[in-house]
Structure 1
Amino acid sequence: MEFRPLRAFVEVVRQGGFSQAAKTVFATQSTVSKAVKHLEEEIGFPLLDRIGHRSVLTAAGEVVYRRGVKLLADRDDLLAELDEIRGLRRGVLRLGLPPVGSSTLFAPLFALYRQRYPGIEVRLVEHGSDQLEDTLRAGEIDFAGALLPMSEEFDRQPVKQEPLVALLPSGHALATRDAVRLAELKDTPFIIFESGFSLHRIILDASRWAGFEPDVVARSSQMDFMVELVAAGLGVAFLPRMIGEQRARPTVRQVLLDEPGTEWSMVMAWRRHAYLSQAARAWLDLVREVHGADTHPKPDG
């Protein structure tokens, strides 16, 4: 059923005749009459009983009028909501962020986004980068904060690159060094992130490339807890330099990790060729505004 004939019919009933309805819908009286006739033919029932210069609703006409008023109101509401989404007054952004680095890199962006688009609902998911990739792949979120390397099925916007530092107890034999290789730490117990975190994979893979399997004494998702374990002399942990500097302890020394392939490269990733809503595009524009021009292909559409 088309909305234009339905609106003409509803206005004929509301205005009490074809002439007044024509003025309301900005059409000729003949056009309104043809629209109502077209609607009657489509439904298969007469809607108006024309008695002289008056038109009275038939039983079918009463049903169509009652339902038609609601349909037209719902259509107007739908168009209004779409206009709000188009104007970023409403919408949803589904965002996946990792625990490591989010408070520094993304909290200011999040606050600025909310300031600019207060009507957008932000649904936040927090997991390790590797787990967020799976969530993004499944289409459950629009964007994921993730670490390189990652699958080429995703497009990404670079956000931040940092070297890793080894967090050592102040009494460790290597704690006074400017830099350290992983092989030099093979006899030191490792305190690493849980599986699902990219840093878990990065450290274990790099250790194996260096020719040893580390002695992992603790796995955790809590950075502060890991730092306290280092301070207690339990072993060595690894963090991006900027994150390590924020968690300085008198009994913990930070030594640059001089190991190829262990750079912490944070990106904002999305599914290649995926549809990005207006709310999602606004988030991506903000990330690019703050962290520089995109050097990767843009999504289609």
Structure 2
Amino acid sequence: MELRTLKVFVEVVRRGGFSHAGKAVFLTQSAVSKAVRQLEDELGVILLDRIGHRSTLTAAGETVYRRALRILSEQEDLLGELSELRGLKKGRLRLGLPPIGNDAVFAPIFAVYRNRYPGIEIELVEQGSKRLEEMVRSGEVDLGASLLPVPQEFEWQELRNEPMHVLLPAQHPLASVGDIELAALRDMPFILFEGGFALNPIILDACRTAGFTPAIAARSSQIAFIVELVALGLGIGFLPRLIAEQRVNDRVRHVAVTAPAMAWHMAWIWRRGAFLPHAARAWLDLAAE
């Protein structure tokens, strides 16, 4: 069994098909299909259920996919350790960042790191917290930023712990109060982030604790658009305090939410017990400063 064949199979699963996988590994669609069939023949099991242009994992395929991720991540660890032993002056840092908070939280660290370690090549990937956990698990990134709590398979270092604020139109009667109990917002339409954003469960779980299910007026992946919708009176939004302070405009106010309190508890995560490159350790040291 070759590592290259395993990588091709993993990419087929990740990309959802043979043609997209081929582009990722620089092979033709027929070569990708041949590699997967070769792996099936070698293992004596069918890995993919091929229906038209779609392919889904069989039970055996799920097992092989899970093991293949571990094998390929171990390969990454091996290559990383060997690079460290060779004493390379240049290195690579693969970072996974969430879409929320990049300018307020991560950009300042990035600027200082680039100035301090100009020889380190930095690869940035922007995904939601759950997807970043998958990428850390599979070794696609060295470090990912995710909301706590995280599974026990990860080690973590706290980055920020910010209370959540509600965004209200400036003319709203509650816009001038010091803080708001979540139950007081039950009759207002909510503007949430798109599915997959880790902030949504925080908000919805707090609503359930407060005894209501909010009406959702809209969803967006763009903070600026959510702020604008709030300014126009289409609903209320939520942001961590630090980000709200930098993103609201004159037509929007942000107020702390209490009872129950909500928090944006962000941490850097990496695989427990895995080799962590020097470039990643240097990033964690800087973030801790």
Q: Which has the larger radius of gyration?
A: 1
Deviation of residue 179 (structure 1)? 1.0
Q: Equivalents in 1 of 2:259, 2:170: separation in Å?
A: 21
Q: 1:143–1:269: 8 Å Cα contact kept in structure 2?
A: yes
Instruction: Kindly indicate whether residue 208 of structure 2 is the aligned counterpart of residue 208 of structure 1.
Output: yes
Alpha-carbon distance between aligned partners in 2 of 1:112 and 1:85, rounded to the nearest angstrom: 26
Give the gaps of 5 or more residues in structure 1.
1-80, 291-301
3-state DSSP class of the match of 2:203?
helix
**Whole-Å Cα distance in 2 between the matches of residues 197 and 142 of structure 1?**
21
CA distance in 1, matches of 2:118, 2:225: 35
Supply the distance in 2 between the matched residues of 1:174 and 1:100 (Cα, whole angstroms). Answer: 25
Report 1:44-63 matches (<5 A): none
Asked if the contact 1:97/1:127 (under 8 Å) is kept, the reply is: yes
Q: How far does the alpha carbon of each residue in 1:2-34 deviate from its partner, in whole angstroms, 9 at most, with x for none?
A: xxxxxxxxxxxxxxxxxxxxxxxxxxxxxxxxx
1:244 matches 2:268: no
| Equivalent residues in 2 for 1:71-90, closer than 5 Å | 82=83, 86-87=87-88, 89-90=89-90
TM-score normalised according to structure 1 size: 0.65
Which residue does 2:99 correspond to in 1? Answer: 99
Q: Which runs of 5 or more structure 2 residues have no equivalent in the other structure? A: 1-81
* Shift in alpha-carbon separation, 1:85–1:128, aligned structure 2, 3 A: farther
Moved over 3 A (4+): 81-85
Q: In the alignment, what sits opposite 2:37? A: none
1:253 alignment counterpart: 253
Paired position in structure 2 for 1:144 = 144
CA contact (8 A) 1:131 1:197 kept: no
CA contact (8 A) 1:164 1:256 kept: yes
| 1:273 match | 273
Which residue pairs with 2:155 in the alignment?
155
**1:228–1:119 CA distance, 2 compared to 1 (3 A):** same
Q: Distance in 2 between matches of 1:155 and 1:107?
A: 23
Compute the RMSD of aligned alpha carbons. Answer: 2.0
- Structure 1 residues 277-286 or 184-193, which shifts more? 277-286
Using the TM superposition, give the Cα deviation of residue 84 of structure 1 relative to its aligned residue in structure 2, in angstroms. 9.4
Change (3 A) 1:121 1:175: same
Q: Is the 8 A contact 2:84 2:277 kept in 1?
A: no
2:177 corresponding residue in structure 1? 177
Displacement of 1:151: 1.7
Contact 1:224 1:247 in 2 (8 A): yes
Distance 1:85 1:188, change over 3 A: farther
Q: How much does 1:85 deviate?
A: 6.3
Partners of 2:101 and 2:216 in 1: how far apart?
23
**2:163·2:261 contact (CA, 8 Å) conserved in 1?**
no
Identity %: 53
In 1, Cα distance between equivalents of 2:130 and 2:145: 10
Post-superposition CA distance 1:84-111 (Å, at most 9, x none):
9635x22221100112122122112112
Matched position secondary structure for 1:150:
coil
**Residues 181 and 260 of structure 2 are in contact (CA less than 8 Å); yes or no, is this contact kept in structure 1?**
no
* 8 Å CA contact 2:210, 2:260 repeated in 1: no
Instruction: Indicate the residue corresponding to 1:112 in structure 2.
Output: 112
Distance across 2 between alignment mates of 1:85 and 1:244: 45
Whole-angstrom CA distance in 2 between matches of 1:266 and 1:84: 32
Compared with structure 1, are the counterparts of its residues 258 and 276 closer, same or farther at alpha carbon in structure 2 (3 Å cutoff)?
same
Question: Who is 1:287 aligned against?
Answer: 287
Q: Distance in 2 between matches of 1:172 and 1:133?
A: 39
**268 and 259 in structure 1: CA distance in 2 versus 1, 3 angstrom threshold:** farther
* AA in 2 matched with 1:92: R
The equivalent of 2:192 in structure 1 is: 192
Q: Residues of 1 paired with 2:268 and 2:83: CA distance?
A: 27
Could you tell me which residue of structure 2 aligns to residue 228 of structure 1? Answer: 228
Q: Secondary structure at the match of 2:247?
A: coil
* Distance of 2:121 and 2:280 partners within structure 1: 11
Gap change, CA 1:189 and 1:85, over 3 Å in 2: farther
d(CA) in 1 for partners of 2:225 and 2:275? 39
Kept in 1: contact 2:162–2:265 (CA 8 A): yes
SS at match of 1:167: strand
Counterpart CA distance in 1 for 2:261 and 2:162 is 12
Report the alpha carbon displacement of residue 173 of structure 1 after superposing the two structures with TM.
3.1
1:261 to partner: Cα distance: 5.1
